[in-house]
Amino acid sequence: MNIHDQLNELEAMVRGAKAMPMSVSCLVNRPHTLQAIERLRDALPTDLHHADAILADRDAVMATGQEQAERLLESARAQRAELIEKSDVLRAARAHAGAVTAEARAEATRLLADADDYVDRKLAEFEVVLNQLGVQVNNGRERLVARREADLARVAATEAPPPSEAAGDARHDPEVEVAAPAETSQPSPT
């Protein structure tokens, strides 16, 4: 029987005791009450030791809990500092990435402009070469036309009857007019 049961039994004895007439006092069974008190006294030290052990355990548990709370708090502070540092690192990394991106875009723009300038210079050089070729082609065609006309005139001159025979006939026939041969102009080669 534990101490609470014994106290309840003692309380029941006192409440169940016969009351004295005209008094608040009561009559209790002395030997029975003393035995209950003795049992209570015997049980009390073990319960007190048990209570002291529980209190000591409670203090130990509280100390352990306090230590755990301190460790958790310190860990949380460390994590907070790490997160703050990481956020600073993240901000710095983002800033660096933005700078690198801007630099890459500027470099790409510069390279495109350089490429456009190079292509434009090459096209201008091709244009000059093509113009020179065009002039040479035109000059060649003009020489070809002049040579063709000269060749045609020579062929025409070789196919015509000799001038003495044609002139003699024309002198005897007054109705035939003698036409002077046309001069062929030969362009100078350029």
Determine, yes or no, domain membership for 152: no
Cβ(29)–Cβ(13) under 8 Å?
Answer: yes
Determine, yes or no, domain membership for 185: no
Determine, yes or no, domain membership for 32: yes
Determine, yes or no, domain membership for 170: no
pLDDT for residue 165: 53
* Gap between the Cα atoms of 13 and 17, Å rounded: 6
Report the chain's C-alpha Rg in angstroms.
68
- The model's pTM: 0.34
Among 78, 79, 82, smallest CA distance to 90 is for 82
Residue-range definition of the domain harbouring residue 52: 3-144
pLDDT for residue 162: 61
Backbone torsions φ then ψ of 135, nearest 5 degrees: -65, -45
Determine, yes or no, domain membership for 187: no
pLDDT in 10s for each residue of the chain, 190 residues: 677 788 888 888 888 888 888 888 888 888 888 888 888 777 776 667 777 777 777 778 888 889 999 999 999 999 988 888 888 888 888 899 999 999 999 999 999 999 999 999 999 999 999 999 999 999 999 999 999 999 899 988 888 766 555 555 544 454 444 444 444 445 555 4
Length of the chain: 190
pLDDT for residue 123: 92
Q: How many domains does the chain have?
A: 1
pLDDT for residue 42: 78
* Gap between the Cα atoms of 106 and 19, Å rounded: 108
